[in-house]
Amino acid sequence: MTPTNKMTGGDVINRALQHYGVHTCFALAGTAHAHLLLSMEKHKAQHPWTFISGRHEAATVLEADGYARASGKLGIAMIVGEQGIPNAMTGFCTAQAACSPVLVLVSTTAPSQIEAAGEKPDSLDMVAPYVKWARTVPDVNRLEEYIHVAARHALSGRPGVAVLGIPSGMEAQTAEVAERSSRSLALPLPPEPNDDAVARAADMIAGAQRPMILAGTGAALSGAGPALRALAARYGIPVLANALGRGLVPEDLKLGFPWPLAQVSAKQADVVLALGLRFTQRFGYGLPPRFSNTAKFIQVDVHGEELGRNRVPDLPIVADARLFVEKLDAALAARGMKALSTAWVNDGMKVRQARIAELGNEPAAPIHPYRMMRDLMTQMPANAIYAGDGADIQNWAHAILRIRGERAYMDHYPFGSMGVGTPLAIGAAAAMKEEAAANGTPVRPVVLVTGDGAFGFYPSEFNAATLAGLKIVCLISNDAGWGTEKHGQIKNMGTHINCELGHCDYHLIGQAYGAHGVRVENPADISPAIQRALASEGTTVINVITDPDAGMVRKTDPRVQTIAFEDLVSSLKTHYAPDVA
């Protein structure tokens, strides 16, 4: 007979979660998961846990999302159901869209308390359509089974959000638990590419004059970085990256390029290899004018349904990105492919880069966002993690920002909900603190760049950051308003309505929660403030007063637009890229 143990439901969950190598959880305080949290606290000697106490359910889930993006491990969040689920919807949708492996434990109404004609939806009905998997544990004796099933759904294939409903009171109940073999927790092996498909891809790339690789989140999730760097260097193939794919090849503008900046060169590519990337609006749907109509497309993804989104690929391949790149490298070597030049990518950016270089050089106030970003890049360590938020400021930031390491970039793309940068940064910082403690290394810094509007969504989460002793450098581009909306209204109507916020003292919010706070109005003070923040042990909020009028240039000059919000040819001709075909 398999030996058994009697333990509380909280003990069962605690023991099950320990299999995933995670030592941080994100939990909104309250009685919903008290017995689980108590078990974690009581058994810290066997498995130490750090609790990050959020202020809002959406932020709590988003912090688990940031942890997962930065660490590659399972993010764990705990919230209450009923009012908690509606509050958390932004977190669910954002993490799911970003393919983040997140497990959310939701304390649901006990079955005996559910009203037959109640006003609230049953259990997880509200969230189920927006996540990868959602179930409620039917019996306390099946808790461990359901935890592992949920975790496997979150982590396997194309990762996503798994929501596990735990009826109220179950964590306090006694369960009869059988010992499990750790082998039963193994994830399925990733899909290998078909040899014939690899050969066809190698033929297409070897015969190209200007091949281009697009690396997305799927490439990062597969661990394709080392193989991708080797392939790009050996054959001189430029890698344009987006989302979590940024930094897989360091963005040196020789082999690695940020997609938002270098996208103007994409129409010159004759063969495009897309690795773990969705052809959404950010990529012009993979269609002209962003890409040539005659370009050949190879699309690789673990999720078969993703192949053929908008742009129909010439060669669709269901496979793990890392395994594909490794096989492709060998196939190209067998064909004797010689290294190409990536100069054509930089040639395509010359006009854009020249215009960018002209802006933001004024020695006096008001501060241009380019000046803030240039000073950040001179100070930001190569291993720093960058979290981006806001509208105008991220459009400016993309022109200057260079990501130089893996799992070092995150923002609100692709779901697009502003404000999420703050909890994402907190989750990433928690992951880096955990990693540093495990390895005995310095804490990898996290830099959050946000707008004043975006900062206002979840500022109370800085309380969680300071309570946990997290290291975050937050720079706010404070242009006193909703910049993108304001300048769009002025351009179209000649005036603006309901867009003003004022140059508020947001740094005092940081101070109120125990962080360092500083207001910067003089351009010469930006770098020293960043230096002090990076040298500090805790969190710093730097409130940079930026030019309220700078954003109008983005509405009228396509050379500085790194995020195009429209992709119709007629609109592009008028507003963004007049030279499109």
Amino acid at 263: Q
Identify the pLDDT of residue 85: 94
Q: Is residue 543's pLDDT more than 90?
A: yes
Structure confidence by residue, pLDDT tens digits, 60-81: 999 999 999 999 999 999 999 8
Cβ proximity of 4 and 32 under 8 Å: no
Rounded CA gap, 24 and 33, in Å? Answer: 15
Pick the CATH number of 195-343 from 3.40.5.50, 3.40.50.1220, 2.170.190.11, 3.50.40.10: 3.40.50.1220
DSSP tag of 367: B
Q: Is residue 211's pLDDT more than 80?
A: yes
Rounded CA gap, 451 and 543, in Å? Answer: 10
Structure confidence by residue, pLDDT tens digits, 468-489: 999 999 999 999 999 988 988 9
Q: How far is CA 446 from CA 88, 328, 422, 531, in A?
A: 24, 34, 11, 13
**If you average pLDDT over residues 345-349, what whole number do you get?**
97
Lowest mean pLDDT among 15-19, 70-74, 307-311, 562-566: 562-566
Q: Is residue 581's pLDDT more than 60?
A: no
Rounded CA gap, 35 and 1, in Å? Answer: 29
343 Cβ neighbours under 8 A, 6+ residues apart:
none
Structure confidence by residue, pLDDT tens digits, 118-134: 555 566 999 999 999 99
Rounded CA gap, 283 and 281, in Å? Answer: 5
Q: What length is written for the chain?
A: 581
Q: How confident is the model at residue 513 (pLDDT cuts 50, 70, 90)?
A: very high
Amino acid at 96: Q
Cβ proximity of 528 and 544 under 8 Å: no
H or E, element range at 106: strand 102-108
Identify the pLDDT of residue 117: 53
Topology of the domain comprising 4-176: Rossmann fold (3.40.50)
**If you average pLDDT over residues 224-230, what whole number do you get?**
98
Give me the chain's average pLDDT, please. 93
Strand pairing class (211-215; 102-108): unpaired
Lowest mean pLDDT among 230-234, 251-255, 279-283, 322-326: 279-283
Identify the pLDDT of residue 387: 98
Helices (H), 381-522: 392-400, 421-439, 452-455, 462-467, 483-493, 507-512
Identify the pLDDT of residue 186: 79
**Edge-to-edge order in the sheet of strand 133-136:** 50-54, 24-28, 75-80, 102-108, 161-167, 133-136
Chain centroid, CA 318 distance in Å: 23
Q: Residue holding tokens 């190879």?
A: 298
The closest of 238, 434, 234, 262 to 337, measured between CA atoms, is 234
Identify the pLDDT of residue 167: 94
Identify the pLDDT of residue 29: 77
Identify the pLDDT of residue 177: 78
> Token pair of 193, please?
């590419």
- Report the percentage of the chain scoring pLDDT > 90: 86
The full DSSP string for 531-580 is: HHHHHSSS-EEEEEEB-TTTTHHHHH-GGG-SS-S---HHHIIIII-TT-
Q: How confident is the model at residue 565 (pLDDT cuts 50, 70, 90)?
A: low
What is residue 188's three-state secondary structure? coil
> What's the chain's Rg over C-alpha atoms?
24
Cβ proximity of 547 and 572 under 8 Å: no
Give domain limits for the chain: 4-176, 195-343, 359-550
Q: Is residue 114's pLDDT more than 80?
A: no
Identify the pLDDT of residue 575: 43
Rounded CA gap, 275 and 246, in Å? Answer: 12
Four-point Cα dihedral 475, 480, 481, 483, nearest 10: -60
**If you average pLDDT over residues 366-373, what whole number do you get?**
98
- Report the percentage of the chain scoring pLDDT > 70: 93
| More reliable by pLDDT, 354 or 281 | 354
Q: Is residue 569's pLDDT more than 80?
A: no
Identify the pLDDT of residue 115: 61
Q: How confident is the model at residue 6 (pLDDT cuts 50, 70, 90)?
A: confident
Judging by beta carbons within 10 Å of its beta carbon (0-12, 13-18, 19+), is residue 510 exposed, middle or buried? buried
- Do domains 4-176 and 359-550 share one topology? The answer is yes
Q: Is residue 239's pLDDT more than 90?
A: yes
Identify the pLDDT of residue 568: 46
Give the bridge partners for 78, in sequence order.
27, 105
| More reliable by pLDDT, 383 or 186 | 383
Identify the pLDDT of residue 32: 86
Q: Is residue 580's pLDDT more than 70?
A: no
Q: Which CATH class is domain 359-550?
A: alpha beta
- What phi-psi label fits residue 202: left (phi over 0), alpha (psi between -120 and 50 degrees) or beta? alpha
> Token pair of 61, please?
């889930």
42 Cβ neighbours under 8 A, 6+ residues apart:
none
User: pTM (2 decimals)?
Assistant: 0.95
Strand pairing class (4-8; 174-178): antiparallel
Q: Is residue 436's pLDDT more than 60?
A: yes
**If you average pLDDT over residues 483-510, what whole number do you get?**
94
Q: How confident is the model at residue 180 (pLDDT cuts 50, 70, 90)?
A: low
Start-to-end CA span in the chain (Å): 73
Rounded CA gap, 275 and 324, in Å? Answer: 9
Rounded CA gap, 417 and 435, in Å? Answer: 28
459 Cβ neighbours under 8 A, 6+ residues apart:
422, 506, 509
Q: Is residue 275's pLDDT more than 80?
A: yes
Q: How confident is the model at residue 4 (pLDDT cuts 50, 70, 90)?
A: low
Rounded CA gap, 143 and 566, in Å? Answer: 48
The full DSSP string for 214-229 is: EE-HHHHHTT-HHHHH
Identify the pLDDT of residue 1: 30
